[in-house]
């Protein structure tokens, strides 16, 4: 990714991200947001780009990648790295949660894990860490596959 691609496009109207800076609301961003809002499973930038092409939305693949990164950075979408190393994105509910993801069809279930939270905090405390955060995705094959 080039330096220009990695720069934040913060200005103007959209909602504020984690940094508090307003996020730019463009036609392309609205198109990506519409695709994400229509689905419940994680999708790659290429899959989102394909959906946009089939809906006649003129959004380049580089713009899709940049938009998804900005949305992930601002907390608008969750991003996970799949077992093959590719990033996938989806709009999720608020609050801390984890994901159960089917390797075959991509079906995703949001789960809470109080036991995981206690374990993570205990391990962090044991080694003197504080202000701890974590992410957990569990990959498997769903019952339908």
What are the 10-residue block averages of pLDDT along the chain, 145 residues in total?
A: 33 40 75 90 93 89 95 87 86 80 84 86 95 86 94
**Residues in CB range of 79: below 8 A, 6 or more apart:** 68, 72, 87, 88, 89
pLDDT of residue 93: 74
Residue 99 assigned to a binding site: no
Residue 54, burial from CB neighbour count under 10 angstroms (0-12, 13-18, 19+): exposed
Q: Which CATH class is domain 3-90?
A: mainly alpha
pLDDT at site 4:
36
Query: 92 labelled as ligand-binding?
Result: no
What is the Cα gyration radius of the chain?
17
Equal fold, 3-90 vs 98-140:
no
Q: What is the pLDDT of residues 126-138, one digit of tens each?
A: 999 988 888 888 8
Domain ranges of the chain: 3-90, 98-140
Instruction: Fold for 98-140, please state it.
Output: Dna Ligase; domain 1 (3.30.1490)
pLDDT tens-digit readout, 22-31: 566 788 999 9
């Amino acid at each position: 990714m080039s330096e220009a691609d990695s720069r934040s496009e913060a200005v103007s109207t959209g909602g504020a991200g984690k940094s508090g800076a307003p996020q730019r609301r463009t036609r392309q961003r609205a198109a990506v947001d519409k695709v994400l809002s229509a689905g419940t499973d994680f999708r790659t930038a290429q899959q989102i780009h394909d959906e946009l092409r089939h809906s006649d939305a003129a959004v380049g693949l580089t713009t899709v990648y940049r938009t998804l990164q900005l949305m992930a950075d601002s907390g608008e979408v969750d991003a996970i790295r799949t077992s093959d190393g590719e990033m996938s994105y989806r709009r999720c509910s608020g609050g801390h949660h984890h994901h159960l993801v089917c390797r075959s069809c991509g079906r995703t279930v949001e789960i809470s894990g109080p036991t995981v939270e206690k374990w993570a905090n205990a391990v962090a405390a044991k080694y003197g860490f504080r202000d701890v955060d974590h992410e957990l995705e569990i990959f498997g094959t769903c019952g339908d596959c």
